[in-house]
Structure 1
Amino acid sequence: MNRYFKVLVTCVLCAVCALSCSRKKDRFISRNYHAVTAEYNTLFNGYNALEAGKRTINDAYFDNYWEVLPVERMQISEDILLPGQSRNENFNIAEDKAAKAIQKHGMHIDSKEKNPQIDEAYLLLGKARYFDQRFIPALEAFNYILYKYPASDKINRAKIWREKTNMRLDNNELAIHNLKRLLKYANLEDQDLADATSTLAQAYINTKVIDTAITQLGIAAQATKSHDERGRYHIIQGQLYNQLGQRDSANIAFDKVIELNRKTPRIYLIAAQLGKINNFDHENGNKLETTELLTEIEKNRENRPYLDKIYHQIGLYHQRNENEDLAIRYYNKSLRTNTRDAYLKSRNYEILGDIYFDNSVYAKAGLYYDSTMTNMAENSKPFRVMKRKRDNLEDVILYEGIAKVDDSIIRLVNMPDATRTVYFKEYIDELKRKEEEARAQEEAAARNSGIVTVNNQIGGQVGVGGAGQAVLFYFYNPTTVAYGKNEFVKTWGDRTLEDDWRWSTRGATGGATIIEPIALADVASDDQRYDPEFYISQIPSDEKEIDSISKARNYAYYQLGLIYKEKFKEYELSKDKFQDLLESHPEERLILPSKYNLYKLYELLGQNDEAEIAKTEIVSNYPDSRYAHILENPELVSEDENSPQNLYEALYIKHENQEYEEVISKCDEYINQFDGDAIAAKFELLKATATGRLYGFEAYKEAVNRVAVTYANTDEGKQAKHIVAKVLPNLANKDFVEVSREASVQYKVIFQFDEAEEETILRFKKTLDEVLKNIRHYYVLSASIDVYDPNTTLVVVHGIKTKQIAQTFNQILLSKDQKKIKAPYFVASSTNYQIIQVHKNLDSYLNLYNK
């Protein structure tokens, strides 16, 4: 009986509790049951999920210390999500928990919310949406709190989060206005004050009001209880002070981070220390103390994860102290850390490239610039600037290579026999020493890796020794690599690295490009390698060959002088090249332009006495030259009819008027006259175009290929390469096209004049224009005179839309006009007419279609 009674009482009590916990009744038990359940169950789990999601964001976020850090670590994604999708499942869970708390535990009775935890649920809902980057829904949640719960103790926090959301929506001015109002009228303390002022600081940073942002960050750093946040705020303060050029104030901010030591994340401590070192006064500062500090930072084991940044800063420090060798060493050490900071990599590569460029090691500088671009965002502004710089360097690398090789050859040619022998004996001794060192290193490496010996020979079988022996990988052997390079060049020429490189149109890049030289020792036999006479026998002795080498070297000097002057504004380097050129007794065509360029360089460098001497020499020794005319009448330069640019423009007009023979003849004259000037490439390309128009496809192909080869590194040469690769293949087909009746094709009526006087052709064209004008009510036709070849001119009627009308052209004329046009004609479609003009196969067409 007692047992049944207990069960009955228990059931009654459960029913009473269940009825008492209704969401629709405003009772003490109901309010507290739903409040406690919401807080310690649903919202507790929701906030745990939110914190897990925030940790994921922080772990994935990579701070860019090269720019001012954002106050909040959050990477904004541009990806657009479909309904129901989430960027992070934890935020989705937090949002679900917030929604569940509102739906299951909300007590909205008599237009009031009786559960004090529901405003917290809406705050969680807004935060989850905010971190999931759904800012409009987040703003709705925060605004709902402000609208429905004006007396909530969470009201100030909701206002702060609303302005953070407004700021993410680029409403910075609105956020600043509302936050200033909140700080003025609300009594914020501790973390709420820190959040409000740090958010306000970010809004000021976004609107470029830097000084006010610094002040707000100082308040936030004092108010927050999180050392992580305090360290970050002081780092941002230091960065902003640096933007304003206030290095002392920046160092004070960095010192506050350093004082936190292990209380703040290690990366903030490292950033502060490196920031202070970057602000070091190299003129008045204590260099010994700073060097010791850098050594201490470098040797500290706790700093190992940040060695990439440390090495880079040490490199900068030594570079500013003009210790270039140490700087290069530390930049390379920074690169060897395999840092994931792409910007740091690009900076290291770019600085190294600049160092080698300034030291005239252009090939190496080019390689570093290539590596710089691989670590940049493609098509960004820095990438385009670097690409332009690298493209300009291409010519420098080419001509410096030519000058270096030819200078070496000429020095050897001019050496006395006894000196040559001594020179090559010393070279052979050095070669033996290096081979001994290499052999010792290989044996040491073999002992460490279990490889005993390596026997690798060019031109024969690569031997594999006895047990334990192995073959060294081909590309690790500089001898075989050098041999392979030259064998490739012999077979294929100097080909550009691109798709379909074996096509015939992908020929060598041209005569201006030299094959990469390799040491003769790499391809010599064992007997020859250590014989000085072998090397001496390779020195050119033929006068024509030596003269050719000298000319190539002189032209390279001239081009380098122009490139340094015009492209890089390196006036001292340019001056040196022109002076070296004149001292080497160049051919006559380069002397006067070099002296004129030297005159301009002296003016640019402020060396007025040297400029006056150069001017006097040009005017006295070359009184009839255009340079003398320019120097004596500088105000008339723009009106000079004989300037290269004006001559080119006049010749181009003749080209437009189809005076192709005169264009070709004049181009030849001007190419010789302005050989060495950049304008020569323009005349060459114009000549190639005129040649194609007059003599057809094959002549055009040959002429354009010549431009691509001879002027490979000019804009015209690159344009010619494009024509060879892209345009010529489309013009190569010379088969005539059969046109169906249904096809919409224009036709031309063509009158042929062979060996005719120009007056005769012009008279016929005038009559034809009058005749066509009379039928304008029925047909809109026009006529033109087209040059076919040196002996043949075609008068062409355009605008006929059907083949039948074209074939009966004389019948559509008025009866009074038919007698005026008695010359025979033939008909061709527009496509076939183009083929006739491109391939100059008019006879073939007439035989095929007009039998």
Structure 2
Amino acid sequence: MNTSFKIIISIFCVALVVTSCSRKKDSFINRNFHALGTKYNILYNGHIALEQGRETVDNAATDNFWELLTIERMQEAEDIFLPGQSKNQDFERAEEKAIKAVQKHGMNIKGKEYNPQIDEAYLLLGEARYFDQRFIPAIEAFNYILYKYPASDKINTAKVWREKTNIRLENNELALKNLKRLLDQEELEDQDLADATAIMAQAYINIKSKDSALTQLKVAAEYTKKNREKARYNFIIGQLYNEFGQKDSANLVFDKIIDMHRKIPRPYYINAHLAKVTNFDMETGDKLEFEEYLTDIEENRENRPFLDKIYYHIAEYHRANASDSMAVVYYNKSLRTNTGDKLLKSYDYSTLGDMNFDEANYRAAGAYYDSTMTNQKLNSKPYRVIKKKRENLEDVIYYEDIAQDNDSILNLVSLSDADRLEIFTAYTNDLKAKAKEAQEKAEAAERVSTGMATTDNNKVGKSQRADPNAKNGKQNFYFYNQTTLSFGKNEFVKIWGDRELKDNWRLSSSAINKAKNQQSGAVDSLATNEELFDPEFYISKIPSDQKVIDSISKDRNFAYYQLGSIYKEKFKEYELAQDKLEKLLLNNPEERLVLPSKYNLYKIYVELGLDGKADTIKNEIISDHPDSRYAQILLNPSSEFAKDENSPERIYEALYAKFNNQEYAEVISSAEANIIKFEGDVTVPKFEILKASAKGRLFGFEDYKEGVNYIALTYPNSEEGKRAEVILREVIPLLARKEFSDNNDATHFNVLYPFEANQKDEINAFVAKLNDAVSKVAYFDLTTSIDVYDSNTTFVVVHGLKSAQGASGFAEILEENKHKIVRDFYSISSPNYEIIQRHKNLNEYLASQ
């Protein structure tokens, strides 16, 4: 009986389980069986996967505390994924669990869902897609909950998540409208209220309504139950207060974050301290107490991972406190932490560059700006600002190098033999000491490497393995020894300077390397081992030829003039400009530099309020150079004589008009005269490039190439010089082609009528007759022109013909019709016409036909 009873009970239980698995039958057992299975199995594992994925996203995101934080710590990826692809396996697993819950445990009977956990499944599905940054599928899941489960206890949560997704899709106004309606109609629980107001704040920030965002963030920070969110919301509130200029209110909020201390992630705690450091009032604050506060932050061992930022903010305090030397120390400390924060590096380098710039140490400033740009986003606005600053320093660095080098050389020229010997004896003694120290280091490194190799050989003997780079017990491969490698690097820099890694690096032609080659390091590189330590070797390199000395002095004086102009015009550094120009006038400059230097000094004295000096030099200009345009400007300052017909700008404009009128010979001669007349003026490179273009049009490609090359070498730091370098590199190779193309490949042809250049009346009469004939041709769009070929020949050209035969036939028709235009002519394709005009090789073309 007991056995039969057990069998009956077992059959009953099996039947109960089987019937309860049905998803198409609404019963108490069915509903609870599927609900429990969904909640405690599938959704439980799905939520675990979702949290793991969120933690991964959270760890991958990097907060930029230099800017206003986003409400949600999630960095949107730029990668594009196909439908069905996932960025994160945890989110993919969470999505799979949500779908499984719907497919395996959904009880949709006659359009109604009887499993109370399915709305949770759709919510999990939407959240997984949201964090996987698939926002369109995510919003579909949230909308499905709102459509199918209006009575769900998760309906408000779904509404909040839908608006979060709308904000990610940049539908900020729609999200705000829906959230406002939600807050008006529903009384949300604490966390839902925090989430709703937080994302409203993000929408307000996105539409630049930050005062409204501040109000919503205060609510979110009060009602959220998560300490991480509370810290983040409060930090953003503090940032907004700072933007509004309310530093006291911001500090109160940052104090709230600091009071949470170990309850929150360390970055919020440290950056709250640093934000308070930034807000310190230098006028009313207790500096002694504040410096103790800074010291405590710096010396706290727990803050070591954040020393890069801490040092930077301490440096900013010292700079604001007019303690520049301490500021420099801490900026460099910040850089030496090897921080991975590129934005912080750019701030450090940029500030150090600005400090050196303010002190007129332009070479160092340029180096710091170079480092700044390597840590900025390419072509961003801050990058372009720094790049512009750096470009403005090119000229001053170049001419400062020349001035310093040539001053040093001329100083050595002026010394007695005894003084020269004393200087170079001290120099060679220093070289000997350094060489001895380097040799000792190399020998020590050799001993260390030998000992290491011996130890390695012992190990090799035990393991029967040989080091392929070891020979006879020594580790001989140069790049494996860090000491000798460092020594080699130092020697390379000493000999060659800081060379860019590129082909033909020994032939570098940059302006900086040109200047460096004039320094003693270049002399060192030419010396043998015996000469390197011999003072007489260096003394023998001091120029003694008067022509060489005069050339050096001339270059130095021109560099002084350029520096005076640059400091005055570009940087408004009037004291520096005054110093350079006054030194120039004391160094017996060329006559061409005297007058513009005096005039610039007059303008500088006026700017500096040195009225006595201004009047003296003004009288010198008027009395010594009464016919100059500078004297006329000083005598008639209100007439704007600087822009009269005698100014270089007006002369250039007139010459350019002549160039467009094909008066090339006149342009060349006038440009040459004005280059001499205005030498030292900023307009000279413009005259040079106009002259080169005119010579190219009149004499051909080789003359143009020669002129452009001269400009690139002579004026490397002017806009025209830089443009000439681009032309040499990119345009000249294209223009050099002289091969004629096949007429069968061309689609545009011309007819050329040659004249002697001095037959101007005949040319004009012929063109009038030709234009009359051309105007009657309706089936071609024909035009005519007068083109200078060279100094002896001018072409009258008919343009717009479609074939070589058509061009010849057209000319023959003109000979035969009533116009009777009878003259020698050539038919030529447009590409070949460009070549003969460029290379002046008409005879070669005619011979090839």
CA contact (8 A) 1:235 1:272 kept: yes
Shift of 1:642: 1.8
Match of 1:771 in 2: 773
Shift of 1:351: 2.2
Shift of 1:222: 2.6
TM-score (norm 1): 0.89
Letter in 1 for 2:651: L
Structure 1: distance between partners of 2:190 and 2:444 = 65
Match of 2:217 in 1: 217
CA contact (8 A) 2:767 2:796 kept: yes
Rate the CA distance shift 1:508–1:523 in 2: closer, same or farther, 3 A. Answer: closer
Match of 2:814 in 1: 813
Please give the per-residue CA displacement for 1:13-71, whole angstroms capped at 9, x wherever unaligned. Answer: 32134324533333222222222111111111111111011011011001111101112
Match of 2:749 in 1: 747
Rate the CA distance shift 1:599–1:149 in 2: closer, same or farther, 3 A. Answer: farther
Match of 2:458 in 1: none
Any unmatched runs of 5+ in structure 1? 453-463, 487-494
Is the partner of 2:308 in helix, strand or coil? helix
Shift of 1:522: 5.6
Is 1:687 the counterpart of 2:691 in the alignment?
Answer: yes
Choose 561-570 or 262-271, whichever is displaced more.
Answer: 561-570
Match of 1:190 in 2: 190
Is 1:175 the counterpart of 2:187 in the alignment?
Answer: no
Structure 2: distance between partners of 1:331 and 1:627 = 48
Rate the CA distance shift 1:393–1:301 in 2: closer, same or farther, 3 A. Answer: same
Choose 433-442 or 569-578, whichever is displaced more.
Answer: 433-442
Structure 1: distance between partners of 2:289 and 2:604 = 44
CA contact (8 A) 1:105 1:115 kept: yes
Structure 1: distance between partners of 2:547 and 2:392 = 33
Q: Identical aligned pairs, as a percentage?
A: 55
Match of 2:467 in 1: none
Match of 1:711 in 2: 715
1:365-764 equivalent positions in 2, closer than 5 A: 365-432=365-432, 434-435=434-435, 438=438, 472-473=484-485, 476-484=488-496, 508=509, 513-516=514-517, 517-519=519-521, 520-521=523-524, 523-525=526-528, 528-605=531-608, 611=614, 613-631=616-634, 632-637=636-641, 640-740=644-744, 743-754=745-756, 756-764=758-766
Please give the per-residue CA displacement for 1:105-146, whole angstroms capped at 9, x wherever unaligned. Answer: 333446543332222222212211211222233223223333
Please give the per-residue CA displacement for 1:202-221, whole angstroms capped at 9, x wherever unaligned. Answer: 22322333333333333322
Structure 1: distance between partners of 2:799 and 2:487 = 63
Letter in 2 for 1:565: K
Is the partner of 1:798 in helix, strand or coil? strand
Any unmatched runs of 5+ in structure 2? 453-470, 479-483
Please give the per-residue CA displacement for 1:489-540, whole angstroms capped at 9, x wherever unaligned. Answer: xxxxxx99767889xxx99468994353243456545554454444333222
Structure 2: distance between partners of 1:406 and 1:500 = 28
Choose 614-623 or 601-610, whichever is displaced more.
Answer: 601-610
Match of 1:459 in 2: none
Rate the CA distance shift 1:801–1:151 in 2: closer, same or farther, 3 A. Answer: closer
Rate the CA distance shift 1:811–1:475 in 2: closer, same or farther, 3 A. Answer: farther
Match of 2:346 in 1: 346
Please give the per-residue CA displacement for 1:687-728, whole angstroms capped at 9, x wherever unaligned. Answer: 001101111121111111111111111111122122222222
CA contact (8 A) 2:258 2:269 kept: yes
Structure 2: distance between partners of 1:497 and 1:432 = 30
Is the partner of 1:514 in helix, strand or coil? helix
CA contact (8 A) 1:91 1:131 kept: yes
Please give the per-residue CA displacement for 1:741-796, whole angstroms capped at 9, x wherever unaligned. Answer: xx34322222222364322222222232233334x135443332221211222222
Rate the CA distance shift 1:141–1:597 in 2: closer, same or farther, 3 A. Answer: same
Match of 1:162 in 2: 162
Match of 2:129 in 1: 129
Is the partner of 1:752 in helix, strand or coil? strand
Match of 2:330 in 1: 330
Structure 2: distance between partners of 1:551 and 1:16 = 110
CA contact (8 A) 1:71 1:199 kept: yes
Letter in 1 for 2:725: K
Letter in 2 for 1:622: H
Shift of 1:344: 1.4
Structure 1: distance between partners of 2:420 and 2:376 = 49
Is the partner of 2:344 in helix, strand or coil? helix
Shift of 1:650: 1.0
Rate the CA distance shift 1:97–1:478 in 2: closer, same or farther, 3 A. Answer: closer
TM-score (norm 2): 0.89
Shift of 1:669: 0.7
CA contact (8 A) 1:510 1:710 kept: no
Rate the CA distance shift 1:160–1:434 in 2: closer, same or farther, 3 A. Answer: same
CA contact (8 A) 1:474 1:480 kept: no
Match of 2:785 in 1: 784
Structure 2: distance between partners of 1:187 and 1:88 = 35
Shift of 1:430: 4.4
Rate the CA distance shift 1:126–1:589 in 2: closer, same or farther, 3 A. Answer: same
Structure 2: distance between partners of 1:752 and 1:119 = 91
Is the partner of 1:228 in helix, strand or coil? helix
CA contact (8 A) 2:629 2:641 kept: no
Structure 2: distance between partners of 1:803 and 1:617 = 69
Shift of 1:840: 1.4
Letter in 1 for 2:799: H
Is the partner of 2:814 in helix, strand or coil? coil
Structure 2: distance between partners of 1:700 and 1:497 = 32
Rate the CA distance shift 1:249–1:95 in 2: closer, same or farther, 3 A. Answer: same
CA contact (8 A) 1:71 1:233 kept: yes
Is the partner of 1:789 in helix, strand or coil? coil
Choose 355-364 or 552-561, whichever is displaced more.
Answer: 355-364
Shift of 1:187: 3.0
CA contact (8 A) 1:557 1:581 kept: yes
CA contact (8 A) 1:684 1:707 kept: yes
Letter in 1 for 2:597: S
Structure 1: distance between partners of 2:84 and 2:609 = 70
Structure 2: distance between partners of 1:596 and 1:451 = 71
Structure 2: distance between partners of 1:429 and 1:286 = 53
Match of 1:252 in 2: 252
Cα RMSD (Å) of the superposition? 3.2
Is 1:799 the counterpart of 2:803 in the alignment?
Answer: no
Is the partner of 2:789 in helix, strand or coil? strand
CA contact (8 A) 1:509 1:712 kept: no
Match of 1:456 in 2: none
Rate the CA distance shift 1:169–1:638 in 2: closer, same or farther, 3 A. Answer: farther
Rate the CA distance shift 1:98–1:322 in 2: closer, same or farther, 3 A. Answer: same
Is the partner of 2:775 in helix, strand or coil? helix
Match of 2:457 in 1: none
Structure 1: distance between partners of 2:378 and 2:772 = 59
Shift of 1:181: 3.9
Rate the CA distance shift 1:217–1:572 in 2: closer, same or farther, 3 A. Answer: farther
Match of 2:463 in 1: none
Shift of 1:613: 5.0
Letter in 2 for 1:773: S
CA contact (8 A) 2:746 2:829 kept: no
CA contact (8 A) 2:769 2:819 kept: no
Match of 1:492 in 2: none
Shift of 1:683: 0.6
Shift of 1:465: 13
1:185-334 equivalent positions in 2, closer than 5 A: 185-334=185-334
Rate the CA distance shift 1:249–1:581 in 2: closer, same or farther, 3 A. Answer: farther
